[in-house]
Structure 1
């Protein structure tokens, strides 16, 4: 079936919605046309990009504009759109036609029909809708059978990917186009946590797949002006009160499905973040967890006494573990630190990386009731004793802010990451830590409390988080996932700081004093350090 060329007659009324916004477009994009999340999507030039999104926020409409830009350009390429229904294909082609008209894209033909091809000994046909441009390239909407991409080249758009019957096969066919310079765009709301689309998203978050990932919830779309744009189209007056009421009505319409349909939370996506079996598989015997619990009166002991006691403790318990680590060859070390004072404990977790990129936690330090000065003293003792120290990530929310800042001042702000964790940080950085367990790339000390800490994180509204609940250790003392947080921070440091240059050095001891252990730069009291043999 042939339709009249777009340049020969006005577009029918079905192609005229959204004209108010598109009126502002002439020969190039106008920033005012796109909402923030639409602009971020179309300006992302990654070869493969993915968006998990809320329903009906206009992302496919923005993708249609980018498709026209691509196909209408003399240096562009063919664009292949794959939706899971015929209506989606028609709607996308009509959106493209409208964009082309407003952008003077020089459409030469709009066509609907069937394309015949040979599949083995069978003659098969593909239902397609396409727009051909003067550039020689075209935008074609195909059905969602993977074989439809056979022999094709260009950009592939997979819309509502979670709802395709064979997404894995479709992705396999689409990604093959990258070999000769093609591109892949994957857009979808969620359809269950076991769906291939969700597995794809989690693979990107875990760092296994080098693709660009976007996430747009209903609330984020509202914050970027979605309801204001709807009011403009419908010639309504926008008010904040009306927006709140409208948003509540939309959520009520979706009922129990609102989280999945609007908030990018796949159903059944709740529960423990790490399975017990996964954690236990990565645990090793005979690696210690060094614990120290101080009584309240220790805080107000004379400073020299506190320093001396803690240095003795470090020399007795920490130094042998550091010497064992320093005996390893060709390793780089990192560290994660989570700070507590009264209710929660502090946890320092060194992470040793080998040449094959496997990582080992040779020991963990847990501190309770420890004054802040002595927490810093122990932290610096460990850092000074680690071989080829690459850097650390320290929890710098609340209690940890001062120690994080002082440690960055001492070792350099490029090597000490001061992390103020938020749900967005958890969403971006906890999946790679989980992937380390899934891929058997990390080893931890075998310890019941460490295991319990790693079972604390839960997936809440699609985001792994540390809930405001506390577990109890063997001594009936409360914990809050402290070693999990320290481990996730150490893993983050190893990923963020890996590309930096690592220098190993030993400080020169004061004249007449031998140095036979980890460098202990107790700036406030060199004499005490000399007495303990650290300087």
Structure 2
């Protein structure tokens, strides 16, 4: 069997037909080389076949020459392609001044061309087709370039943005966060150095250079590359923008979304030996508490709105936090209340969760922390309400990277309301940027009522996740399971 020309991550880029694609990448993994093939495939086709002109914007002349050279090499391997490679000079206007700049061009028998331009946004005016912005983080005016490039989409063009990182506050990283938050409907690819190796990068290098591949040789080569980049390896190789430390959300942003009218309800054991109470006694006591504390809030929920929830699980140390969300007609989310449970036995947590969810009008989705002991409650909820409505979430750095930006976007757009509460403020302020990812730190914090670990912030993130990713079936009907069957499912109550 012949070897595939492209690695799997490179194939993913070629096969992606999205109008706007963004590739967050490590150094020297063949991304620009791959995009050059993408441009050749498009420029080689006639317009009637979907072909188009392709424009490349790097931030220096060497990048332009290399891209055109890669495109030419790709084109020469394609049968039936007639091309010409040449340089030309165009006049660039900057303010009141003019200057001549050198561009590089390949023309195809299809009538289309690949042209390498300078990084002035005005150079894109009047052009149509595909535009590639390479090493976007290093351009002087990336927002201006993107604004000019988006005009290509009006007539069926495409925009490709590729780059390594150059700081957390760089417009390229801001673009990544907007995509992750759902603010930009773009396709996002990420390839770290480690991921490229897993796709076979070093094996491909060995074949090309006629070296013998082995796991030991690959590990040695990776170590040498990382040693070369030193302290910059995280940014250059691991897609982690530098200067990414400190609080993720500002106090002003959080407080601007807070509402003093949103209550925070707390449940704690009525006695130190509550876990040893007879099950029926514990059940009745908890039911009475739910009726007294939760019913006044649940009966106020708007019956026509879809409702969601997120739950972060804790047992002996951290809190369990249930965060409901009501989706308004505008798609903004209102928090009716937040429930915090400290030292709640497993059965009690299950009982309280069912009590709330059974009474959420048009219940449309929930997400639960399924790590460790939380997995049991998440699984019980899934069995109760079905896999279409319940997500069992294994919280990880990858999950936080993909879904925490949604929380920040909701707060920045004032689309989610928060209780005006010091502990919740501290939880949200406690989320840190760790290795480029917004997540709870390893250490726990103390509050006036005990240990916390950004519990309410995680519950909010899970609620936003449930709303965003849960399919939209008909909401669960609370009368579909008889009460006696619900009690039997709770095993012992």
Q: Mind listing any 5+ residue stretches in structure 2 that lack a counterpart?
A: none
CA contact (8 A) 2:25 2:192 kept: yes
1:52 equivalent in alignment to 2:24: yes
- Cα separation, 2, equivalents of 1:461 and 1:118: 41
Which residue in the other structure is 1:5 paired with? none
Q: 1:280 maps to which residue?
A: 255
Contact 1:259 1:265 (C-alpha < 8 Å) held by counterparts:
yes
Number of the residue aligned with 1:389: 363
Which of 204, 208, 212 is residue 229 of structure 1 equivalent to? 204
Change (3 A) 1:105 1:60: farther
Q: CA deviation at 1:60?
A: 0.6
Provide the C-alpha distance between the structure 2 equivalents of 1:485 and 1:493, rounded to a whole number of angstroms: 12
Among 448, 453, 464, the alignment partner of 1:491 is 464
Change (3 A) 1:72 1:385: same
1:265–1:242 distance in 2 versus 1, CA, 3 Å: same
1:287 positional shift = 2.0
Unaligned runs of 5+ in 1: 1-23, 25-29, 510-518, 530-535
TM-score (norm 2): 0.94
> 1:522, 1:90 → 2: CA distance?
69
Counterpart of 1:478 in structure 2 is: 451
Q: Decide which structure has the larger Cα Rg and report it.
A: 1
Aligned position for 1:261: 236
Cα offsets for 1:457-505 (capped at 9, x unmatched): 2111111222221111213x11111111111000111111263333655
Residue of structure 2 aligned with 1:365, choices 320, 339, 342: 339
Three-state SS of the structure 2 residue aligned to 1:490 is helix
**Secondary structure of 2:43's match?**
helix
CA contact (8 A) 1:470 1:479 kept: yes
How far residue 127 of structure 1 moved from its aligned partner, in angstroms, is 2.4
Q: Distance in 2 between matches of 1:342 and 1:417?
A: 24
1:307 aligns with 2:271: no
The equivalent residue for 1:197 is 172
- What displacement does 1:79 show? 0.5
Q: Does the 8 A contact of 1:36 with 1:224 survive in 2?
A: yes
Structure 1 position 359, deviation (Å): 1.0
Structure-1-length-normalised TM-score: 0.87
The correspondence for 1:456, drawn from 411, 420, 430, is 430
> Equivalent residue of 2:160, what SS?
strand
Distance in 1 between residues matched to 2:145 and 2:373, nearest whole Å: 50
Q: Offset of 1:522 from its aligned partner?
A: 4.6
1:305–1:505 distance in 2 versus 1, CA, 3 Å: closer
Compute the displacement of 1:335 (Å).
0.5
Give the equivalent residue in structure 1 for 2:219.
244
The alpha carbon displacement at 1:305 in A equals 0.4
- How many correspondences in the alignment? 488
- Secondary structure of the 1:324 match is coil
1:338 aligns with 2:315: no
Question: CA 1:508–1:470 in 2, change beyond 3 Å: closer, same or farther?
Answer: closer
Task: Please state whether the residue corresponding to 2:285 is helix, strand or coil.
Answer: helix
C-alpha separation between the residues in 2 aligned to 1:367 and 1:520? 26
Paired residue for 1:147?
122
CA RMSD, Structure 1 to Structure 2 (Å): 2.4
**CA–CA distance in structure 2, aligned partners of residues 211 and 384 of structure 1:** 37
Deviation at 1:370, TM superposition (A): 1.4
Q: Could you tell me which residue of structure 2 aligns to residue 211 of structure 1?
A: 186
Relative to structure 1, is the Cα distance of residues 488 and 119 closer, same or farther in structure 2, using a 3 angstrom cutoff? closer
Q: Give 1:181's aligned residue.
A: 156
Matched, 1:41 2:13: yes
Alignment CA distance shift 1:501-1:126 (3 Å): farther
Report what 2:76 is aligned to.
Answer: 101
Q: Which residue of 2 aligns with 1:9?
A: none
Decide whether aligned partners of structure 1 residues 507 and 219 sit closer, same or farther in structure 2, where only a CA change above 3 A counts.
closer
State how far apart, in whole Å, the 1-side matches of 2:489 and 2:280 are.
8
Q: Does the Cα contact within 8 Å between 1:107 and 1:131 map onto a contact in 2?
A: no
Aligned to 1:20: none
